[in-house]
Structure 1
Amino acid sequence: MDQSASLAVIGGDVRQAYLAELLRAEGHEVRVFALERHPIKDCTLMTDLHAELPGVQAVILPMPVQHGDALLNAPLANAPHPLGDVLDAIPAGTLTLGGAVPFWVHARAVQNELHLLDYLSRDELALLNAVPTVLAV
């Protein structure tokens, strides 16, 4: 039995855009934010996170999550977005995934009652990410 999920992909580079495309191709409802310079077919472009994030089952943030001084890493966005504002818009209890998450973001997630996982700290990713590096040497 196929189960589709409602997911939000927020910020990032072409890897995030590609992820959104793959998730959509798998039949999931995908909403995107801060990816305006890379339109993604059949995905809903969000403009108001507070109004459009309720109802998503998971939010996928980029790796790294932060750019510069507390901004969302979003090189494909038309404007900068404070990362704190993004975190504050995610409904409490929502599974939130991100890579290379700084301590202050973890603290904000706890404060906002988000279930935040840093996928870069997962053994599976760390090991698979190290293989190309070792082979290149």
Structure 2
Amino acid sequence: MDWMDRERNFWIVGGDLRQRALARLLREDGHTVHIAALEGEGLVAEPLGPGLALAHCVILPLPVTRRGEILHTPLSREEVTLPQLLDWLEPGQVLCGGMVDPQAAAAAQARGLRLLDYYAREECMVANAVPTKEAVGPKPYRERMATSR
């Protein structure tokens, strides 16, 4: 049995539409998903607390932080700092975040946490670049394709 065949406990803290989609997909696969500082589309945010210590993986936004220690939470009114989050975690827990800055990596390491940078993977950078380019380009992809037919 593969480890993903068993139910896992995920916390998704902060982020944007990508993290919303991930939360939905993980729930559809039968995993327990808790959300903090990420509201909308039927997601109900929970306060940070002792339940974080039970997480198999804590998923952080892309980028993890903005303005120093503040987590990137564009879809929430809540402001969460990295130390607030790390205070609830236990040594050995796994965190995944995108574009992890050296200060965040050092803070996690000092607490005995494993912080993995998913954006450092080439396939993530490439997959993220296409929708980003389309979003900022002159015409959305679908619109250009419709007019080119």
Q: Is the 8 A contact 1:100 1:118 kept in 2?
A: yes
Q: CA RMSD of the aligned region, Å?
A: 2.1
SS at match of 1:116: strand
- Residues 104 and 36 of structure 1: CA distance in aligned 2, closer, same or farther (over 3 Å): same
* Distance in 2 separating the partners of 1:45 and 1:52: 13
- Structure richer in helix, relative to its length: 2
User: Structure 1 58/38 Cα, relative in aligned 2: closer, same or farther at 3 Å?
Assistant: same
TM-score, normalising length from structure 2? Answer: 0.77
The DSSP-based 3-state class of the residue aligned with 1:125 is helix
Deviation at 1:21, TM superposition (A): 0.7
Counterpart in the other structure of 1:62: 61
Counting aligned pairs with the same residue, the percent is 38
Count of matched residue pairs? 130
5+ residue gaps, structure 1: none
Query: Cα deviations across residues 2-24 of structure 1 (Å, max 9, x unaligned)?
Result: 31111111101121111101100
* Superposed CA offset, 1:21-50 (max 9, x none): 11001100001100134432xxx7321x23
Unaligned residue ranges in structure 2 (runs of 5+): 138-149
Higher relative contact order (CA 8 A, sep 6+): 1
Structure (1 or 2) with the larger CA radius of gyration: 2
